[in-house]
């Protein structure tokens, strides 16, 4: 890419993003939790039924906000992935304590596990929204969407650089290529990647649309210039490895679709 063209691309992006930043919204200060359930063999449908018929309502009863529930398009591990929101980390602890102690929940779970447990393993990551994340709203699009969860592992001490690139350039370029920014988070706990991890969710019209959008994004001269400039300024790649990506479909009971 010619230096003059590269400079013009960067200058144009900087001006556009300057006005965008000036009109930015207040940061979402809620505590979010990403939970991944690995259903026991043959129990994924039963697990979904329990969420559909009981768990989501019980979560709300105990002060949890259901954001969205998804199944990977390719799901050999029988995963159910979902996100909850709480006013604070302390509120999350209190809500989970009340939910687990709820006699109705204990009875319902006992009934649904008469023929064996429904879950083999649970993973949980508490997260904060980044300052550039869209407000995480529960919404349903007019047409079905394919969601994508992407997890970036930043190179050593380069998470601020990576976040700056998303804040100032990448999010707008995603939109340019038909990709919807849903939410961006960083883990709150050091042991879970607070210092080097970015977790975010995108939405696409379909799996094919996802592939087409990223093909256009990666070939965009503006992205090529931004990537080159950001890595030069940081003294190397901003990511330690290729990001993890999971394409997902919302469950029929998901609040976000």
pLDDT digits (tens, 9 = 90+) for 189-222: 999 999 999 999 999 999 999 999 999 999 999 9
Query: Architecture of 31-128 per CATH?
Result: 2-Layer Sandwich (3.30)
Coil, strand or helix: which one is 165?
helix
Question: Is residue 1 predicted with pLDDT exceeding 60?
Answer: no
User: Can you tell me the distance from the alpha carbon of 114 to that of 101, in angstroms, rounded to the nearest whole number?
Assistant: 20
- At 148-175, the pLDDT tens digits run 999 999 999 999 999 999 999 999 999 9
CA-wise closest residue to 214 among 177, 244, 170 = 177
Residues paired with residue 248 on neighbouring β-strands, in sequence order: 72, 147
pLDDT at position 53, please?
98
Cβ-based neighbour number of residue 73 at 10 Å: 13
pLDDT at position 37, please?
98
pLDDT at position 241, please?
95
Q: Does domain 3-20+130-250 have CATH number 3.30.70.100?
A: yes
Average pLDDT, integer, range 35-64: 98
CB 123 within 8 A of CB 86: no
pLDDT at position 24, please?
46
Question: Is residue 256 predicted with pLDDT exceeding 80?
Answer: yes
Average pLDDT, integer, range 77-97: 98
For 17, residues 6+ apart whose C-beta sits below 8 A from its C-beta are 168, 169, 172
- At 105-153, the pLDDT tens digits run 999 999 999 999 999 999 999 999 999 999 988 777 778 899 999 999 9
Coil, strand or helix: which one is 77?
coil
* Residue ranges of domains in the chain: 3-20+130-250, 31-128
pLDDT at position 26, please?
60
pTM: 0.89
Question: Is residue 58 predicted with pLDDT exceeding 50?
Answer: yes
Question: Is residue 230 predicted with pLDDT exceeding 70?
Answer: yes
DSSP strand E in the chain: where? 31-39, 65-72, 79-86, 119-129, 146-153, 180-187, 197-204, 244-250
For 11, residues 6+ apart whose C-beta sits below 8 A from its C-beta are none
Q: Which two tokens stand for residue 175?
A: 């939109």
Q: Is 135 exposed, middle or buried (0-12, 13-18, 19+ CB in 10 A)?
A: exposed
CB 252 within 8 A of CB 49: no
Please give the mean pLDDT across all residues of the chain: 91
The conformation of residue 192, written as its DSSP 8-state character, comes to G
pLDDT at position 128, please?
98
CA-wise closest residue to 202 among 187, 192, 215, 214 = 214
């Amino acid at each position: 890419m010619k230096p003059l063209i590269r400079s013009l691309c960067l200058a144009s992006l900087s001006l556009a993003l300057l006005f965008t930043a000036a009109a930015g919204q207040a940061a979402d200060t809620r505590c979010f939790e990403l939970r991944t359930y690995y259903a026991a063999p043959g129990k994924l449908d039963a697990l979904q039924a329990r969420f559909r018929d009981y768990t989501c309502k019980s979560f709300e009863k105990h002060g949890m906000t259901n954001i969205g529930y998804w199944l990977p398009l390719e799901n050999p591990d029988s995963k159910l992935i979902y996100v909850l929101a709480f006013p604070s980390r302390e509120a999350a602890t209190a809500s989970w304590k009340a939910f687990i102690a709820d006699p109705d929940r204990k009875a319902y779970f006992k009934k649904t596990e008469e023929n064996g447990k429904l879950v083999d393993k649970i993973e949980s990551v508490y997260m904060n929204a980044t300052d550039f994340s869209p407000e995480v709203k529960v919404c349903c699009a007019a047409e079905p969407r394919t969601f994508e969860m992407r997890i970036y592992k930043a190179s050593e001490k380069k998470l601020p650089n990576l976040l700056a690139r998303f804040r100032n350039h990448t999010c707008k370029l995603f939109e340019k290529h038909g990709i919807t920014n849903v939410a961006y988070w960083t883990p709150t706990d050091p042991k879970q990647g607070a210092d080097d991890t970015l977790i975010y969710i995108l939405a696409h019209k379909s799996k094919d649309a996802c592939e087409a959008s990223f093909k256009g994004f990666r070939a965009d001269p503006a992205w090529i210039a931004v990537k080159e400039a950001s890595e030069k300024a940081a003294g190397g790649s901003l990511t330690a490895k290729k990001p993890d990506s999971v394409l997902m479909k919302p469950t029929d009971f998901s609040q976000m679709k």
